[in-house]
Structure formats: C-alpha cells, structure tokens
Structure 1
Amino acid sequence: MAGYLKTGLKICVTLGLLAWVFSLVDREAVLAQLARIDPVLGVSAVLAQCAQFPIGAWRWRMILAKDGVAMPFRDAFSFLMIGLLFNQVLPSTIGGDGVRVWLSARTGIGWSRAFGAVAVDRAAAIFMILVLSVPLLPVLTPIIDNAVARTSLTVLVLLGAAAVAVVLPLAPVVMGRLVARLPERRILRPLLAAAGQSAILWRRGSTTAVLSLCSVLILTSHVATVWLIALSMGVALDPLRLFALILPVMLLLAVPISIAGWGLREGLMVTALGFLDVNPSAAVAISLLWGGVTLFGGLLGGIALLLDRTDPATLFRSTGSPPPDEERPL
C-alpha cells in the first residue's frame, strides 16, 4: 500500500509541475518550436542519447568484475535497459535500480553483491557530476545573474565535492565498525558491500581512471543530446556553458519526486537555459524532446525485457524471499 501511495504522490507531483510550467509559457509557441525540428539533427540526438547505454553497461560490469563477478556484457546491457524501462515507462512501485539488483542477484551473485554494485554505479554518476562541477564553476557563475542563486550553487557544489572526498575513504571503515557492533548484521550486509566496492571510485588506479572516463562520456552523451535537440530547433547554444548548466540539472533530477523526471526537468531547464537567453517556450520544447528521447530509451528496454527470460510478473511481486546472500563459485 505504501508503494502505491508513493507512486500516486509522484503522479500528482508530476502533473502539478507540468501544469505549473505550462502556465508560464505560450503553449502555441512551444508547439511551433517542436514543429521546427530538423529530422537529421533529431535522429542525431537520439543516437547521442543511445550511445550512453553500452557505456553504462560497461561501467556497471567493471564494478562487478572488481568484486569478483564475471557478468557477461549481454546480461549487463540487458539488465540496464530493463531498469531503464521501469524508470522511464512504467509508473511502478519498484525503480530501475531495484530491478537491476533483482535481476543481477538472481544470477547467483548474492543479494549483497548485487545491491553494492548498483549502489556504487549510481554513486559513480553523482560523484562525477560533483567532481566536474568544481572546475566548471568559473564558467557557470558568470552567466548566473542572480546573486543568491549563484552563491547557493557555488556552496552546494563545493560542499558536495568536499563530502565526496570525506565519504569515500571513511565509508568502508564506518560500515565495518557498525557491522561488528550491531547484532543484526545481515541487515547491514548490502551497505557494507557497497562501502567496500566504493574503493573503485577513487583508489584502483587505471580501473578508476577508466570508470571515471565512462562517467564523463555518459554525461557528455546527455549534453550532446540537449545540444543537438536545441540545434534542431534553430537554437544555438555554447557547448561548454551548456555542459556547466546541465550538471546541476542532472544532479537535481536524481531526486525522485516525479515520474521519470517529467515536470521537474521542464522547470529546471526553463531556469537553466534562461541563463543562456533561451526563451521559456523554447526551453520547454527542448526539455520535452529530451524527455521524449530518454523515453525512447525506455522503450528499447522493453525489447530487452522481451528477449530476457525473466517473467515480468515476478518484478511486481511484493511477497516472497529475496535472492540469497550465499555467493556462487566464480
């Protein structure tokens, strides 16, 4: 029941945000912008968005490999796309990350390992946003004319980067002590696994470098998608400034308050692109197409689910035992 209430609340928030955004713009102007799309550039935007999917699967597979799990690339890619389906298309009570944990755990690697790898994969994306935001502050702050917004964003980025520097080295130590002291250790086992696997984010040499490069390429894919969508409507944006603005937008989109980010994304894009002198109607049109391209990726995830041997009904069940923590021989 709590899951259904959460989903219902998200739907209400999504509809409310969309209604608020559309009350601020000329809807006919938005439709006019959408009608101006250049088909070639539109297809290029779709390809730029899709380029991140195999990179994301490779990054997740690397995290698993460092924990001793040799997951085939086909499975990693299939599970990632199925997770995207649940994130973008299905207003379910289980998110895409939860689906990835379930699908990877059923292969026999254990619930803790599966949770830890997905958690670290998600953390890799968020940490890279914070890390890249620091050197881009000199690009970002001059274009934000509101002093309060400029100061708040600067403080947020610096505090986030500082938190990354503190959390990464301390997480394994803190979780290890908690597990040693608390009697119900099984509950903390997935968190301990995630803390242990997090070392790949900062002290695994060439592996960390490759992992970071994958995260940068995924972020570049998002920026390239938005840039191409804007260009297809005749809106020319400076790529570096756009990159600097998209980073905080993506960080805030990680907050799960709406269905697939709809409504929240449009509000954020109106604000962000406004700093680049893009009128609100064009900003909403760009955001809607960005959401549409991402939704297309979710539909591709549906194909992956059809090709996978998973019974979709099992992903919606709220009863039954979780995958075992015992690990198979690797």
Structure 2
Amino acid sequence: MNDSARKWIAFAIKAAITVGLIWLVLRGVDFGAALDRMAGLSPSAAIMAVALLMLHCFVAGWRWRMIMRLFGPALPLPTAIRLFFEGYFFNNALPSTIGGDGVRIYRANRLGLPLAASINGVLLDRVTGLTGLVILVAVGQPLLYAHVDDISTRLAFAAILLAGVAGVAAMILARRIPERLVPARLRDPVHKLSEATHAAYLHPAVSLPVLGLSVVVHGLIVASVYVIAIGLGLDVGLFESLVLVPAVILLSTVPVSIGGWGLREGLMVVALGLAGVPPDAALSVSILFGLAMIVAGLPGG
C-alpha cells in the first residue's frame, strides 16, 4: 500500500469518527434549541470573536518565527504570519489529507528553509502551543477545586495536567535516549527537535517570550469562546473561562476527527455542564466557535 492510499484511508477513518461523534452529541442535545440560540448571537459578539481569533493567528505566527530561529534562518515576520494563516485555514476550513501543519512545512521549505528545520519548527511550535494550554489549565486548578467537589472530575483535570507535563518532559529528555533504541532515520530529527525543545524551555531568554506568547495565543482563544457565550446571553464567568474552556481546547487537539468537529462539541457540552450550562447552549457555543475559526482563517485561503 502506497503513502497516498494510507493517507486516504486515515482520512476516511477520521471522517467516520467525526460523523459518529457528531451523531452521539446530537442524540443527547436538542439541536433545534441550539440553532435557535445560535440565531440570537449578537453581531458585535460575532465580529469580536472572529477578530480575537485573527489576532491569535498574528501572535501565533510571531511565536512560530521565534521558534524557527532555533533551527537556523527564519522567515520574515509577515511571511511567517501569512503561512500561519494558511495552515489555520487548512486546519479548520478544508477537510484534507494534508493538514495545516503539512501546509506550513511545505510552504516554508519551498520558501528556502531546510526541510528538517521546517518540520522541527512546526512540531516545536505545536509543543509550545500545547504547553500554553497546560499552563492555563494549571492556573485554573485552584478555581476548579473551589467550584467542583466531585473527586472524579478533579482527578480527570489533574490527569490532563500531568499528561501535558509528561509530554513536554518527554520532548526535552528524548535527546538522552540511547541511539540503539531510536530507528536510524529518526535519530537526527529526534535529537535536533529535543535539543531545540531543551533550548526553548530551559533557557529564560528563549522560554519566557515563547511560552509567554503561547499563553497569550490561547488566552485569545479562550476570550473568543467567552465573547460568544456572552453574546448568546449565557451566564459564564471566570470559572468557565479559565478552567473549563482551556481543558476542552487541549483535549480537542487529539487528532481523531476532522478539524476537531464532534470531539470539541462533546467535550464542550460535558465541560460547561459542570457549570450548569444547558447542553443546547454549550453546543451552540462550540458550533459558533468552530465557525468563527473558519472565518478567521479566510485570509489564508
């Protein structure tokens, strides 16, 4: 079986999972009520939500350029931002076998960056982005304990946090794995990516701005969700914004569905339900957020 066939099979599996997840969500939610709520979104909230996500792309493109400099020459800032928008558009608007990360890698390489540097730069950008989410989840833990007494929920959020920390630690320590345990073709890229992760996280001159931008990037995403919820007239506050939404976004990055659709909606219904938000309201927030991401990525189309 060639690579193209494998990609299409993987895409078909993702599509089936996406449909299945959406079906499961809709089974337990009044979709008609969700549509009615969505129709009531104020235009100003819609515009603000999209604007926040576009600003997130600008900041994320800046962060990506800072990361690329760890691997050698970097793209000019306007080019890095443009390529980030392109990747964002592919991730959210187009069901494809390539994905936004693949688009960024391909375009950066075509513009003169070495292929290994392009791959490692995008992968490390992903890692730092996830770390920003982990930081937000960690910051929200005290609020979680103040609002949720259920032990299983507390343990679930603690597990999410520990998994994120373990993933970052694994990236830093991968450079110490004995060579005989790593396939020959992966030794050099794994070593370089681990060294760059080490540099990005353990040297303040690099880690502080990169991780600071990562927190800002995801703070803007959380703010976009918050604006949508307020625009729908929902009673959401600091707890929902700083604790529940970052956890939903973090778990939605698991690449099991197309563009996170279905998975994100189910997680949002469950998470916001902890704060007493009705299922149809939580579903409407998630769908509108997904649509806002598509609109925000249009400059990269």
* TM-score (ref. length: structure 2): 0.91
SS at match of 1:71: coil
Q: Which residue of 1 aligns with 2:273?
A: 274
Is residue 50 of structure 2 the alignment partner of residue 46 of structure 1?
yes
Indicate conservation of the 8 Å contact 2:240/2:272, yes or no: no
Q: What is aligned with 1:257?
A: 256
**Aligned residue in 1 for 2:127:** 123
Q: 1:204 and 1:183 mapped to 2: Cα distance?
A: 26
RMSD value, Cα = 2.0
CA 1:117–1:229: 2 relative to 1, 3 Å: same
1:67 counterpart letter in structure 2:
F
| d(CA) in 2 for partners of 1:232, 1:148 | 32
Q: Distance in 2 between matches of 1:144 and 1:182?
A: 43
Paired position in structure 2 for 1:109: 113
Q: Distance in 2 between matches of 1:62 and 1:107?
A: 17
CA contact (8 A) 2:145 2:154 kept: yes
| Residues in 2 aligned to 1:156 and 1:45: alpha-carbon distance in whole angstroms | 26
Q: Distance in 2 between matches of 1:215 and 1:94?
A: 24
1:83-142 C-alpha deviation (Å, 9 max, x unpaired): 112211222111211221111122332111111111110000112222332232121234
Are residues 240 and 183 of structure 1, via their aligned partners in 2, closer, same or farther at CA, if it must alter by over 3 Å? closer
- Whole-Å separation in 2 of the counterparts to 1:134 and 1:161: 10
Unpaired runs of at least 5, structure 2: none
Find 1:173's aligned residue among 172, 176, 182.
Answer: 176
What amino acid is aligned across from residue 188 of structure 1 in structure 2? Answer: R
**1:1-330 paired onto structure 2 within 5 Å:** 1-164=5-168, 166-174=169-177, 177-178=178-179, 181=180, 185-302=184-301
Please report how far the alpha carbon of residue 159 of structure 1 lies from its aligned counterpart in structure 2 after TM superposition: 4.6
> Alignment partner of 2:139: what SS?
coil
Whether the aligned pair in 2 keeps the contact of 1:13 and 1:257 (CA below 8 Å) is: yes
| Structure with the higher helix share, 1 or 2 | 2
The 8 Å contact of residues 61 and 71 in structure 1, kept in 2 or not, is answered as yes
User: Per-residue deviation at 1:235?
Assistant: 0.8
2:116 aligned counterpart, secondary structure: helix
Structure 1 residue 148 displacement after superposition: 1.9
- Greater Cα offset, 193-202 or 274-283: 193-202
Structure 1 unpaired stretches of 5+ = 303-330
Distance 1:50 1:106 in 2: 25
* Number of corresponding residues: 297
Amino acid at match of 1:135: V
Contact 1:54 1:77 survives alignment (8 Å): yes
Q: TM-score scaled to structure 1, two decimals?
A: 0.84
Tell me how far 1:287 sits from its aligned partner: 0.5
Aligned identity (percent) is 33
Q: How much has 1:150 moved relative to structure 2?
A: 2.1
The answer (yes or no) to whether the contact 2:18–2:258 under 8 Å persists in 1 is yes
Residues of 2 paired with 1:230 and 1:184: CA distance?
48
One-letter amino acid matched to 1:96: G
Evaluate the alpha carbon distance shift between residue 135 and residue 232 of structure 1 in structure 2; reply closer, same or farther with a 3 A threshold: closer
Larger radius of gyration between Structure 1 and Structure 2: 1
Cα pair 1:131 1:161 within 8 Å, conserved: no
Q: Name the residue aligned to 1:325.
A: none
Aligned mates of 1:182, 1:32 — CA distance in 2: 56
Moved over 6 A (4+): none
In the superposition, relative to structure 1, how do residues 40 and 71 fare at CA in structure 2: closer, same or farther (>3 Å)?
A: same
Deviation at 1:43, TM superposition (A): 0.8
